[in-house]
């Protein structure tokens, strides 16, 4: 695993290695992880932004992962790494401890459970036993215990040793060429989901003017979408944390029926953040067109469901004026992941979120890092069926933010 954190690949994302190098490193391990196929879905749609699906039939979570990028190799690396992340999180091999929160806090550092997202019907009991897994508090630079049910993604059974009090999702799960790179991606995902949830609770936010986008990569993606006869809506969803976040929605032009696309992206570099939202919107549309994901409900493919989704996106675009400028979004372009990580920790601390815990799921035999980040205080994704608004969302709803 590379020791340095200098960025070597900065085309459609930031990485220590280019996609070809990453694919060569992981290729010998794919069979052992149950990855049987990497399929190019790009040609099933008319946009042309590279998208792939990665099949892992014996998965303990979802059996199909998706990947996207500006090149087919980048999309393949994206999809394969997502599948690898899930494989790691299904097989947590880290120190675990059965303990009561009220007692564990007396002798060890524990994640701030009061700031963790809760779920409908769940109740955390600090005086009942549950399993904890060992992570690291990055701000305090010390070991920190986290509820295992927030890290483990083996969905073939109820959370082992858990209380079903916290979300069991892949939110904050990311991979990279070393621990720092993977940590940055994991933290950005949590910031993105928090920002999108806060944006969802704000009514009538203006759109981003596509003509204000000056990055050539983003302009290329926008032009590919519009040249396909699709309409696009862009929003700057950046929260008070100040790390660039965007939402992109895509629908058929002229009110025609068809599949939609929705994508979100977050990154210190605003161009990368916007590009991620654009390519993810194209990926989401292809996910529906291909029917590839095994976690899609058949009801989502009825004519009524497609009409409802199309109307939702159409209304989002029509109800918001495009008078926001891309240049108004904050942007931090650094040369290393160490600088990115320091920035992310500083920005979170500035809004009263000092604890960032990472759980290192990496395996020594694989020259790839897998990290699960847990950040008390951030909102969970609003579109999860068991989502309960946290303090940040409630402040918006109550008109206090």
Using the structure block, give the residue that is written with the tokens 């196929």: 37
Phi, psi for 325 (deg, rounded to 5): -105, 135
Q: If you compute the radius of gyration of the chain from its CA atoms, what whole number of angstroms results? A: 20
- 180 within 8 A of 337, measured Cβ to Cβ: yes
pLDDT per position as a tens digit, 177-225: 999 999 999 999 999 999 999 999 998 899 999 999 999 999 999 999 9
Q: How confident is the model at residue 255 (pLDDT cuts 50, 70, 90)?
A: confident
Name the region of 34 (left: φ>0; alpha: ψ -120 to 50; beta: rest): left
Beta bridge partners of 135: 144
Label residue 5 by pLDDT band (50, 70, 90): confident
Contact 248, 231 (CB under 8 A): no
Q: Is the pLDDT of residue 3 over 70?
A: no
Three-class SS state of 88: helix
- Tell me the sheet residues that pair with 40: 52
Six-digit token string for 83: 């599948």
Q: What average pLDDT does the chain have?
A: 96
Contact 148, 159 (CB under 8 A): yes
Residues with Cβ < 8 Å from 201, sequence gap 6 or more? 382, 389, 393, 396, 397
| pLDDT band, very low/low/confident/very high, at 2 (cuts 50, 70, 90) | low
Residue 203: its pLDDT value, please? Answer: 80
- Which pair of structure tokens corresponds to residue 106? 């007396």
Helix, strand, coil percentages, rounded to 5, for the chain = 35, 20, 45
The pTM for the full model equals: 0.97
Structure confidence by residue, pLDDT tens digits, 118-172: 999 999 999 999 999 999 999 999 999 999 999 999 999 988 899 999 999 999 9
Contact between residue 373 and residue 384 where contact means Cβ atoms under 8 Å apart? no
For 356, the token pair is 């960032």
Number of alpha carbons in the 13 Å side-chain half-sphere of residue 397: 10
Q: What's the confidence (pLDDT) of residue 1?
A: 60
Residues of the chain above pLDDT 90, percent: 91
CATH number of 201-328: 3.30.160.660
Residue 389: phi and psi, rounded to 5, are -60, 135
Domain ranges of the chain: 201-328
Mean local confidence (pLDDT), 18-24? 97
Q: Are 206 and 321 in contact (CB under 8 A)?
A: yes
pLDDT band at 401 (very low <50, low <70, confident <90, very high): low
Residue 101 Cα to chain centre, angstroms: 28
Residue 154 pLDDT:
97
Q: Nearest 5 degrees, angle CA 238-CA 240-CA 241?
A: 85
Are 341 and 226 a contacting pair, CB within 8 Å?
A: no
């Amino acid at each position: 695993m590379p020791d340095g954190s200098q960025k070597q690949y900065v085309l459609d994302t930031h990485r220590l290695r280019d996609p070809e190098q990453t694919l060569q490193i992981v290729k010998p391990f794919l069979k052992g992880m149950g990855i049987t196929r990497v399929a190019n879905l790009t040609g099933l749609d008319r946009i042309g932004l590279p998208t792939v699906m990665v099949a892992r039939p014996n998965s303990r979570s979802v059996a199909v992962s998706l990947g996207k990028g500006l090149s087919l190799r980048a999309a393949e690396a994206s999809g394969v790494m997502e599948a690898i992340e899930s494989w790691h999180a299904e097989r947590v091999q880290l120190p675990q401890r059965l303990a009561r929160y009220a007692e564990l806090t007396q002798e060890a550092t524990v994640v701030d459970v009061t700031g963790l997202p809760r779920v409908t019907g769940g109740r955390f009991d600090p005086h009942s036993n549950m399993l904890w897994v060992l992570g690291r508090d990055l701000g305090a630079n010390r070991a920190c215990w986290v509820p295992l049910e927030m890290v483990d993604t083996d969905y073939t059974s109820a959370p082992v040793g858990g209380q079903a009090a916290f979300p069991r999702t892949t939110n904050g799960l990311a991979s990279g060429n070393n621990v720092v790179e993977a940590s940055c991606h994991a933290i950005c995902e949590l910031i993105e989901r928090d920002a999108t949830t806060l944006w969802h609770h704000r009514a009538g936010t203006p759109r981003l003017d596509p003509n204000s986008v000056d990055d050539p990569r983003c302009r290329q993606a926008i032009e590919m979408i519009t040249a396909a006869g699709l309409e696009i809506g862009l929003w700057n969803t950046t929260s008070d944390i100040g790390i660039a976040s965007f939402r992109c929605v895509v629908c058929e032009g002229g009110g025609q029926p068809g599949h939609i696309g929705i994508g979100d992206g977050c990154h210190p570099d605003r161009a990368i953040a916007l590009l991620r939202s654009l390519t993810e919107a194209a990926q989401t549309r292809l996910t529906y067109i291909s029917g590839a994901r095994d976690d899609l409900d058949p009801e989502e493919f009825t004519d009524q469901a497609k009409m409802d989704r199309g109307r939702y996106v159409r209304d989002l675009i029509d109800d918001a004026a495009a008078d926001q400028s891309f240049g108004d979004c904050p942007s931090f372009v650094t040369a290393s992941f160490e600088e990115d990580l320091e920035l992310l920790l500083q920005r979170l601390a500035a809004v009263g979120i000092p604890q960032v815990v990472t759980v290192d799921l990496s395996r020594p035999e694989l020259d790839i890092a897998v990290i699960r980040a847990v950040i008390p205080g951030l909102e969970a994704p609003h579109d999860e069926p068991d989502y309960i608004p946290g303090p940040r969302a409630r402040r918006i709803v109550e008109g206090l933010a």
